[in-house]
Structure 1
Amino acid sequence: MKISYEEIKEATLTNNCPECFSNEGLTLTFFQKHAENTWYHTATKEITDKIVCSNCKTTIYPVRWTEDIERVRDFYFKSIQSPKTYFKLTRFSIVCLVAIIAVAILLTIFLK
């Protein structure tokens, strides 16, 4: 199964970076989880986020967040509308289902 995360929202923060103490360059990005395999493709309600400082090029993990960063992150998280979810069958799975139904119909006809 292939799992990917697609960006749904990006915001620039004016908070100080806990690593380099710069007040410019923090970027908060929200991602939606997508999963696909040979049978189906789906987009889930699961949302993850990531904060990166463009000055020192580091990812700011939740352990290093200040209260201000947490408040701003919560504000932007609430502003996200619930992302659209979907479940789609692949062509391969549809062909397999049609083939199974055709075999079942043929068996019922010939076994009568």
Structure 2
Amino acid sequence: MNWWYETYKKGAAEFNTGKNILNSLEIVIKNIGYVKLSNLDKPSYRRFINKIAPNYTKSTLQRMNTTIREAFLDSMDVGLIHSNPTSRTKYPTTAKNQKEKKKSF
């Protein structure tokens, strides 16, 4: 995914947006490792989302998924992959969200 950032985002995104993109990519690499995009399937991506969900709010997961989905869509456009494992991602109820809800009562 680093090639995607270097090709499509570096210099094109605002500074803070670029930092957020790099942070999202770092989280993916830390949890999934360096994997060919063509080897990442929907069940593997879902396990990744479930694994990191307790550490992030739903909105953070959604923003991260949007960034990753964009990388996969660009990869599809250039013919590197034929399907997008990030499509129709469902977000689990996270522990972080549960704590926030309890505080509101």
TM-score by length of 1: 0.28
Question: Using CA pairs below 8 Å that are at least 6 residues apart, which structure has the higher relative contact order?
Answer: 2
Q: Which has the higher helix share?
A: 2
Larger Rg: 1
Q: Which has the higher strand share?
A: 1
TM-score by length of 2: 0.29
